[in-house]
Chain A
Amino acid sequence: MGTPAPARSRAISLEVNGEAVEYEVPARRLLVHFIRDDLGLTGTHVGCDTGNCGACTVHVDGVSVKSCMLLAVQADGTRIATVEGLAADGELTALQRSFNEHHALQCGYCTPGMLMSATALLEQNPHPNEDEVRVALQGNICRCTGYVNIVEAVVAVGEGTS
């Protein structure tokens, strides 16, 4: 097999929220636009153009990443989870319920990214303390809540009080 030739687009196959997806995407398309515009999964948001806000956070192979700093072609062969995949069976996760109970969202624009970051944290560390939660959510900007209730909501899941 020779060295692969660079190409302007690429046929990618990946798994999104458990479903196989095949697509021909331009090399320049950002993963976040692929998810939103091509797949129509609009729960993943865009809040900045510089990789700071985390509204676009998804999981790639189980790891949280900002989908505005990945090209869709880079996701070829990966497993992607978006916010729509959390309550796939229609049942809210404990974290989603906790967000509601603790009033951890106002406009809800940052929420999908927050949930994906917090879900990743809870998978690795099921009982995080407040400091650990704050570190884990540092890459997610919320302009509404001041984070107080978000942090409480995540801690509560770990404590089993939510």
Chain B
Amino acid sequence: MSTTTTTTPTVTEQQSTPTLEKGYIGQSIPRREDKRLVQGLGTFFDDMRRHGMGYVHFVRSPYGHAKIVSIDVSKALELDGVYGTITGDEVAIHTEPFFEMSVEPGANIKDYALAVGRVRHTGEPVAAVCAATRELARDAADLVEVEYDPLPVLVDAEESLKDETVLHDDAGSNVVWSGVFDWGDIDQALADADHVVKIERLHFHRFSSTPLECAGALVEYDKGTAEWTLHCNHQMPGVGAIWMAPALRTGIDKLRFVTQDIGGGFGNKICLHPQYVVLCLLARKLGRPVQWTEWRTDQHTANAHGNERTFLDIEVGVMADGTMTGFKVRALDDCGAFPRYEPLGCIIWAQVTPGLYGWRNIRVDFTQVCTNKSPVSPNRGYSRMQHLWLTERIADIVATELGIDPVEFRKKNYVKTEQMPYETPNGCVYDSGDYAAALDIALDLIDSGSIEDRRKEAAARGKLLGFGIGSTLDSGTNNFGQSTLLNPDLQFSGNNEAASVKLDIFGEVVVTLGTVPQGQGHETTAAQVVADILGCSPEQVNVRRGHDTWFNSHAGFSGTYASQFAFTGLGAVKGAAELVRAEMVQLAAAVLQAPEEAIELADGFARIKDGPEEAALPFMALGAIVNANNAFLPPDFNPTLNHRYVCRPYFGMVDTEKKTGQLTLTYATQIHAAVVEIDPETGVVDVVDYAAVDDCGIRINPQIVEGQVHGATTHALGAALSEEFVYDEEGTLLTSNFYDYHVPHALDMPPLKTGSMESPSPVAPLGAKGMGEGGGGGIHCVCAAIQDALGAAGKAIVYTSCNPPHRVWSMLQDPEATRANVSVVSK
């Protein structure tokens, strides 16, 4: 059972933005989207059918790295029911390589929709076949003959860095991007420190959120207008189109993305442009609608992994009183075979540079390389999670090595609530929060006072008990200007999101969103916001399902990603609703012949405040007047009751010299605490108690917020204990299905306790911070808890983020091997 503790800290010192009075906002109203979904009446892309539609199957590389000697599709084409094929050679003729965001050498990488001349990871599509049925498409794919000439395989980022084998000849190096971030004076800080703690290596592993619905699309081509319609599950079509249109040598007006229900995204549905381009080409070539549904195995082998990152040569300066003054690190990021959304991960982490801590001196020497593994894509907690894991590992390792209690150590080093809003060494502003108070709630929830007794009790049963904290920030609302810190020539900055609200003839309130939800309940929360602004009930508000780039208002950065809906998405909804509201008030004042100040919108009426009962117009009257009965309105008064609003958060420009700036706007806090028991004979880790405390400012719908916390925690626990993409030396993925890539099921999950507090964001339109990604708190606290438990059995250091039983067992066998990684130099 979950418990909720709510503490609302005062925010008197913060400049407060006008927030709406709470009506529906803040209530856990049940979700609007559920009714269709519980009846199996949702519409996911694979539910769509078109007359004469062909099914597409990709022929994929069985090699991690190889030259393509030849591809012969003739046998496939002979099969009855096969509509056609496409290969890399054709793709190279009909499309441009995708636009790369990096500077040289990464900028020179050529990434096409199908492999051209060479395959660089197992599962890379080399050809596609289209046929009358799913089964036939696969039969035909089996008949495509591809001859390969294997090349040496790189599955290790450090090997890759040596450039002995180079993946992309055009780039001439495996390095995609590299650069040094240097804020404060770390050399001085280390020289002045009483202790310098050194950690040679930490490794953040590869995994992904693996949404239950795989990727795919049904693509139609209109020969007459040269336009494509993609019924799909892309979660960021605005950016998808920016990739696809130039590659297809067309304008983004020729690409229509339609999404309805999407079966989870978590960032893993952002880099679908290569497959989608193949579908576009096939639809045009074959003159028929084509559809492709990715298989689970293919999603694991060839779609979207999270970034793998190795942290090397870490040095942390600590004063005698336990204050950490700074750290330096060499970060080596492995983005797999193609950068795609990268190198953005080389900067996104900087949104949370010091984690929750008061470090003022930080140097990060960051390099990203390609390897013969699946390309990466943003994955829940994108790039910040990796970095936050580093800061949390540092906190625990330093505390343990210096013999300080990790809880006290954290409280000492956390940024204090009095310091909010807090500017980090790299110019980001933590908008609000009280980390120590959130930690106290977590400690309470798991009854931390009883840990030592529980440890003894567990020991009596032969178990090692450990306790750990994970403190993270969920930074929301990306400033795309941070991309210019990687490549000053990029023409991206700021952010935006659009929404439209209209009042229709019979009083229907209709909302369209630029965002592309995948389970976050936008139809519900948007209705709550609009209902409060227009004075009606959420049931009266129809928030259209999904997204359609033709009919929904949208902007360049539209989509659901980067924990920003509460800010930009709802900000846009709020803006549009306010514009409609203003007109409704004006109109009612005109009709009722009252001053505008006397008009109130409530209960689905525009009426005169405290006026007689008949001085009230139902929404229907307002909608009908404007849309169908408007002759009596004066010529200079032209309300439309139909408004689009773009929410454009303000960041200012970043400083590309100093690599500073406001990279994001809101910071939700998560403090997680775990108690684990380890079976020392087998290395099996059981999470026996768990608490997650979330502070995301004003919660529009607390139940939805809690659901996101549960989900993010589950992803983190899976990652911490079992989910790992493991490759062998040939570049074959060994965990390509849910047997070997074990995701938590209902029996695996420990009871989750949740707690919350609300530190309203002084900068967000509704005081609500973006949330939902979480910063991987579960990974951090489980690593800490395992390390704490192992303290009684050789004091191993947890150096990797994934700790399945065999790895814990190894640490128990040879704790020294892990301890050799760490040293302390004290004055």
Chain A residues within CB distance 8 Å of chain B = 26, 28-29, 33, 36-37, 40-50, 52-53, 55, 82-84, 86-87, 92, 96, 99-101, 103, 105-112, 115, 133-135, 137-151
Contacts and interface: CB of A to CB of B under 8 A. Distances in A.
A100 B746 contact: no
A105 B213 CA distance: 14
B39 A43 contact: yes
A103 B707 contact: yes
Nearest to B47: A42
A96 B38 contact: yes
A140 B745 contact: yes
A136 to B, nearest CB: 8
Contact of A92 (B35, B713, B739): B35
A106 B30 contact: no
B46 A46 contact: yes
Closest 10 CB pairs of A and B: A43-B40, A109-B263, A107-B519, A108-B37, A146-B710, A106-B519, A83-B40, A52-B738, A146-B714, A42-B47
Given A100-B30, A107-B213, A45 B135 contact: no
B519 A86 contact: no
Contacts of A133: 746
Contacts of A100: 30-31, 34-35, 38
Contact of A147 (B46, B47, B746): B746
Contact of A45 (B33, B44, B297, B744): B44
Contacts of B706: 103
Contacts of A46: 46, 293
Interface string B28-53: 10110111011111111011010000
A105 B714 contact: no
A146 B711 CA distance: 5
Contacts of A49: 295-297, 737
A147 to B, nearest CB: 4
A141 B743 contact: yes
Interface in B417-454: none
A142 B39 CA distance: 17
Interface string B1-16: 0100000000000000
B212 interface: yes
Contact of A151 (B262, B707, B746): B746
Contacts of A101: 30
25 contacts: A26-B135, A29-B135, A46-B293, A48-B296, A50-B738, A53-B738, A83-B38, A92-B38, A103-B30, A103-B703, A105-B38, A106-B520, A107-B261, A107-B518, A107-B519, A109-B261, A111-B37, A115-B38, A141-B745, A143-B711, A144-B212, A144-B519, A145-B710, A147-B714, A148-B2
Contacts of A53: 212, 296, 738
A107 B35 contact: no
A87 B34 CA distance: 13
Contacts of A137: 745-746
A36 B55 CA distance: 15
Contacts of A145: 707, 710-711, 714
Contacts of A42: 40, 43-44, 46-47
Contacts of A50: 296-297, 737-739
Contacts of B40: 41-44, 82-84, 111-112
A108 B263 contact: yes
Which of A82, A105, A144, A151 neighbours the largest number of chain B CB atoms within 10 Å of its CB? A144
Interface of B: 2, 28, 30-31, 33-35, 37-44, 46-47, 49, 134-135, 209-214, 261-264, 266, 293, 295-297, 518-521, 703-704, 706-707, 710-711, 713-715, 737-739, 743-747, 749, 752
Residues of A contacting B: mostly: loop
Given A108-B37, A151-B746, 19 more contacts: A36-B47, A42-B43, A42-B44, A45-B263, A47-B296, A49-B297, A50-B738, A106-B519, A106-B521, A107-B261, A107-B262, A108-B263, A109-B212, A115-B38, A135-B747, A138-B747, A139-B745, A146-B744, A147-B714
A90 to B, nearest CB: 9
A110 B521 CA distance: 16
A92 B39 contact: yes
A146 B34 contact: no
B710 A107 contact: no
Contact of B212 (A96, A99, A141): A141
Contacts of A40: 49
Nearest to A142: B212
Contacts of B711: 106, 143-146
A26 B136 CA distance: 12
Nearest to A101: B30
A137 B134 CA distance: 30
Contacts of B297: 49-50
Nearest to A52: B738
A109 B269 CA distance: 15
B212 A52 contact: no
Nearest to A133: B746
Nearest to B2: A148
A139 to B, nearest CB: 8
A86 to B, nearest CB: 7
A121 B213 CA distance: 25
A111 B38 contact: yes
Contacts of A140: 745-746
Contacts of B737: 48-50, 52
Contacts of A26: 135
A53 B745 CA distance: 9
Contact of A99 (B34, B49, B710): B34
Contacts of A150: 746
Contacts of A139: 745
B672 to A, nearest CB: 13
A46 B296 CA distance: 9
A20 to B, nearest CB: 20
Contacts of B746: 133-135, 137-138, 140, 147, 150-151
Contacts of A99: 34, 38
Contacts of A48: 296, 737-738
Contacts of A143: 209-212, 264, 266, 711, 715, 743
